[in-house]
């Protein structure tokens, strides 16, 4: 391969845009990027910003001009799009498509057989956050190393667990919103409330990151004085089934990833409430 690998990206949405920023930004050249033209607004914006980024005429041109092909398609259109493309046996495939296993992709990208799967999050644009990678290719691992905290999993099935966990991002901000609303009801000005809640949760996230070798249960105990307010709040939330409901929601999301559940599937308690 050339000194700078030729990297094609098919499907240029929010995550693909963030990954391109991570690859091309920070004054570092990691590859020559060829983007599909489907989302002209994003593709053109990236091409104007980075000298190493170009927009291809169509998806087949992306494949033809690339040594590494990153698939960032929506699951609903993946089979339709890939069935129209011709891949080469010497190409490496990196899939961002959560619901497509390596086995399922193999038939769609043959004769290419070197397939990796990656779960990046939007902060990859700033080279922050986790990137979960399943790969047999050290070249792919090196390409992605440093774009955030690279976490390699040995079993492909673990990627599905990660996909389920990432479904809690909205829940995280929803919890912050509940606290924010409670403070505002108590008389806080909205800007002061948001500053307080944002800073508090940021500091807690920092503590977890700095002490990532320790179990969260230890942090919970250390931040909860015996007989204090933190211990009481956590005790009552646990008694109300809050922690169990989080795990039940993760199970439900995982069922949706595997197929039995849909967006309309509800947890038993919520079915009763909805009725």
Nearest 5°: phi and psi at 179? -65, -45
Which residues in the chain are classed under CATH 1.10.3730.10?
167-274
What is the C-alpha separation between 124 and 106, in angstroms, rounded? 27
Distance between CA atoms of residues 134 and 140, nearest Å: 10
Closest CA to 56 of 78, 77, 33, 73: 33
What pLDDT is attached to residue 269? 74
Q: Which residues pair with 54 in a beta bridge?
A: 34
The fold for domain 167-274 equals: ProC C-terminal domain-like fold (1.10.3730)
Give the model's pLDDT for residue 273: 53
The 3-class secondary structure across 111-123, one letter per residue, is CCCEEEEEECCHH
CATH of 6-154, one of 1.10.10.350, 3.40.50.720, 3.40.50.300, 1.20.1250.20: 3.40.50.720
Q: What is the pLDDT of residues 27-61, one digit of tens each?
A: 888 999 999 998 899 999 999 999 999 999 999 99
Predicted TM-score (pTM) of the model is: 0.84
Give ranges for CATH 3.40.50.720 in the chain: 6-154
C-alpha 3/C-alpha 25 separation (Å) is: 18
**98-152, pLDDT tens digit by residue?**
889 999 999 999 999 999 999 999 999 999 999 999 999 999 999 999 999 999 9
Q: What are phi and psi of 265, to 5 degrees?
A: -70, 135
Per-residue pLDDT, averaged over 194-210, amounts to 96
């Amino acid at each position: 391969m050339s000194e700078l690998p030729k990297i094609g990206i098919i499907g240029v949405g929010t995550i693909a845009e963030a990954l391109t920023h991570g690859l091309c930004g920070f004054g570092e050249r990691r590859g020559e990027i060829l983007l599909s033209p489907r989302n002209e607004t994003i593709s053109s914006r990236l091409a104007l910003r980075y000298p190493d980024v170009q927009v291809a005429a169509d998806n087949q041109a992306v494949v033809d001009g690339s040594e590494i092909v990153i698939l960032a398609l929506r699951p609903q259109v993946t089979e339709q799009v890939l069935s129209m493309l011709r891949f080469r046996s010497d190409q490496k495939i990196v899939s961002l498509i959560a619901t497509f296993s390596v086995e399922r992709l193999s038939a769609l990208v043959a004769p290419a057989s070197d397939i990796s799967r990656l779960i990046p999050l939007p902060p990859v644009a700033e080279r922050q956050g986790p990137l979960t990678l399943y790969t047999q290719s050290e070249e792919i691992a090196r390409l992605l190393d440093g774009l955030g905290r690279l976490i390699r999993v040995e079993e492909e099935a673990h990627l599905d667990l990660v996909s389920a966990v990432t479904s809690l991002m909205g829940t995280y901000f929803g919890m912050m919103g509940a606290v924010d609303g409670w403070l505002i009801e108590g008389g806080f000005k909205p800007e002061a409330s948001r500053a307080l809640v944002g800073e508090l949760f940021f500091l807690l996230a920092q503590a977890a990151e700095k002490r990532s070798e320790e179990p969260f249960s230890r942090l919970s105990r250390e931040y909860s004085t015996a007989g204090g307010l933190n211990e009481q709040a956590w005790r009552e939330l646990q008694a109300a089934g809050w922690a169990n409901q989080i795990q039940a929601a993760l199970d439900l999301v995982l069922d949706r990833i595997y197929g039995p559940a849909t967006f309309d599937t509800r947890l038993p308690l919520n079915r009763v409430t909805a009725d």
